[in-house]
Amino acid sequence: MNRFDYVRPSTVAEAVQALGSDPAARFIAGGTNLIDLMKYDVERPGKLIDITRLPLDKIEEREGGLRIGALVTNATLAYDARIRERYPLLADAILAGASAQLRNAASTGGNLLQRTRCYYFYDTATPCNKREPGSGCSAIGGVDRIHAILGTSDKCIATHPSDMCVALAALEAVVQVSGPQGDRSIPFAEFHRLPGDEPSKDTNLAPGEIVLAIDLPAKGFGGTHHTYLKLRDRLSYAFALVSVAAALELDGQTIRTARLALGGVAHKPWRNTDAEALLQGKPATRETFKAAADLILREAKPQATNGFKIELARRAIVRGLEQAAAGTPQSQSDKRIQ
Amino acid sequence: MLIDSGSPGAVGTIGITLTINGERRTLQVAPWTTLLDLLRERLDLTGTKKGCDHGQCGACTVLVNGTRINSCLTLAVMKDGAEITTVEGLAGLAQREGKNSLHPIQEAFVEHDAFQCGYCTPGQLCSSVGLINEGHAKTRDEIREAMSGNICRCGAYTNIVDAIEEVMQQGDAR
């Protein structure tokens, strides 16, 4: 790990000022991703700004929904009684990710800002456009099992690794940020980016901005018509090959509202509102779900060896929607898929 | 600003206070020192193990203010003011409750033969205490899931779950 300056602000204003326009400065909260990247020399910050003393660790009622402070830990969020009752999809997605130790340390804001787990991004001996713009992409034509099938570019095929963010995309969360130009709100769909020609940019945060909170809207899909179905190479403590966050509102057997987002398949949580519109007003049947899956995956593009993920995603979407329709959310401890 | 280390590169520039296994200690640390390295290299608390050093194996698990975390992915300076419990302090936790013995989870690990080589055991023990204090896991499936951050290459998992289940049933965590 490189040597760095360390500061510990007590207010958001101090933190934003400490970051300033210094491209080598980083905020640190849980540290579970940043310290790991520093040990691999992927990140070499000149200054760490320890934001753990900022007053951003509350979950508060707001306009019928909840405001989650950026420093609320993943574990606190997943086990909060209000989250479990009103936003069970979010609780389940969080518990599908990482380990208990990591969830105890990792922050909500940091979960949004974690970097890809692409092998080549981590390996400083190989070219990577995300780590070193213009150097090339080693994953294209390389070991691509965990890489994207949707929204890729010829510069980058990395995936966003978060489970929590897949649920936040489905729930239409809003990210509250602050920076030198003041405060602003970013709809979740616009927070993360596709790689395009600038894969080094994971998000649309402007330089100098800090995440303050995540707002959950009043509509939380409480009850049982939701699921977070995560498929991976081992049953726990592994990143998704494909995951599905699904939530439905039903009138009898007819779909009134559908939300659907995928993880493990793109550079950001993949939500397709056309597919949600297709589901609306249709009977909650396997045929309907297959049609939605076909629509989402019509534009999927396999890499050299990860074509299996397209069929895996198709089946995961259908099964996830079946679980949501049946009111039988996937258990995050008993891993049998019903 | 609560703390500013000044220019980078100066070693040992930040003073912190930690209560480690009940003992309050004032230390000067370089900001890039992980909690794991502080415990092992500076304080000779080598019970906590360095396995992968990347948060993947759980051998470095300690309790910070009663909560289990990976000490390898934590900078010591960030835990200024915290109470740390390592495997060396688990028996002390039990003794605080008036028991002159090992911690119940340590006794249960012995009783159930919940280790072979022992390298992962300090992390497994601290993780188990953290799990029981959290109070979320009730069934064997839930215990297994909540212990997935601790790898055991000898494969003692079944007996580890047995040990945790027994202590949980006794309601004897801390």
The minimum CA-CA distance between A108 and chain B, rounded to whole Å, is 16
Say whether residue B45 is in contact with chain A using an 8 A CB cutoff.
no
CB contact under 8 A, B55 and A48: no
- pLDDT confidence tier of residue B98, bands split at 50, 70 and 90: confident
Q: Kindly indicate whether the ipTM for this predicted assembly is greater than 0.85, answering yes or no.
A: yes
Say whether residue B24 is in contact with chain A using an 8 A CB cutoff.
no
Identify the CATH class of A5-53.
Answer: alpha beta
- pLDDT confidence tier of residue B10, bands split at 50, 70 and 90: low
- Identity of the residue in B31, B147, B149 whose CB atom sits nearest the CB atom of A102: B149
pLDDT, averaged across chain A: 97
- The predicted structure's pLDDT at residue A259: 98
- Identity of the residue in B9, B74, B134 whose CB atom sits nearest the CB atom of A105: B74
CB contact under 8 A, A100 and B147: yes
Find, in chain A, the residue whose alpha carbon is nearest to that of B137.
A333
Would you call B108 helix, strand, or coil by DSSP? helix
For chains A and B, what is the number of CB pairs under 8 angstroms? 120
Say whether residue B131 is in contact with chain A using an 8 A CB cutoff.
yes
The minimum CA-CA distance between A1 and chain B, rounded to whole Å, is 7
pLDDT > 70 in chain A, percent:
100
Tell which phi-psi region holds residue A264, choosing left (phi > 0), alpha (psi between -120 and 50) or beta. left
Interface of B with A in 91-110 (CB under 8 A): none
- The predicted structure's pLDDT at residue A95: 98
- pLDDT confidence tier of residue B172, bands split at 50, 70 and 90: low
For residues A289-308, one letter each, b for 16 or more C-beta atoms within 10 angstroms of the residue's C-beta and e for the rest, the string is bebbbebbbeebeebeebee
pLDDT over 90 at A29, yes or no: yes
pLDDT > 70 in chain B, percent:
94
Structure tokens at B90: 């688990």
- The predicted structure's pLDDT at residue A263: 98
- pLDDT confidence tier of residue B8, bands split at 50, 70 and 90: low
pLDDT over 60 at B174, yes or no: no
Residue ranges per structural domain of chain A: 5-53, 226-326
- The predicted structure's pLDDT at residue B87: 98
What is the rounded (10 degree) CA torsion for A140, A143, A149, A152? -30
- Burial bucket for residue A282 (CB in 10 Å: 0-12, 13-18, 19+): middle
pLDDT over 70 at A252, yes or no: yes
pLDDT > 90 in chain A, percent:
97
In contact, A164 and A94? CB cutoff 8 Å: yes
CB contact under 8 A, B31 and A6: yes
Say whether residue B67 is in contact with chain A using an 8 A CB cutoff.
yes
- pLDDT confidence tier of residue A335, bands split at 50, 70 and 90: confident
- Identity of the residue in A5, A31, A46 whose CB atom sits nearest the CB atom of B74: A31
- The predicted structure's pLDDT at residue B7: 57
pLDDT over 80 at A240, yes or no: yes
- Residues from chain B that touch A57, judged by Cβ atoms under 8 A, are none
- Residues from chain A that touch B3, judged by Cβ atoms under 8 A, are 6-8, 50
pLDDT digits (tens, 9 = 90+) for A92-135: 999 999 999 999 999 999 999 999 999 999 999 999 999 999 99
Angle, alpha carbons B15-B16-B19 (nearest 5°): 150
pLDDT digits (tens, 9 = 90+) for A165-221: 999 999 999 999 999 999 999 999 999 999 999 999 999 999 999 999 999 999 999
pLDDT over 60 at B13, yes or no: yes
pLDDT over 70 at B12, yes or no: no
pLDDT over 80 at B97, yes or no: no
pLDDT over 90 at B156, yes or no: yes
pLDDT digits (tens, 9 = 90+) for B48-72: 999 999 999 999 999 999 999 999 9
CB contact under 8 A, B149 and A237: yes
pLDDT digits (tens, 9 = 90+) for B100-135: 789 999 999 999 999 999 999 999 999 999 999 999
Identify the CATH class of A226-326.
Answer: alpha beta
pLDDT digits (tens, 9 = 90+) for A48-64: 999 999 999 999 999 99
- pLDDT confidence tier of residue A332, bands split at 50, 70 and 90: very high
- The predicted structure's pLDDT at residue A277: 98
- Identity of the residue in B14, B31, B149 whose CB atom sits nearest the CB atom of A100: B149
- The predicted structure's pLDDT at residue B159: 98
- Burial bucket for residue A275 (CB in 10 Å: 0-12, 13-18, 19+): buried
List of domains in chain B: 14-87 (3.10.20.30), 89-170 (1.10.150.120)
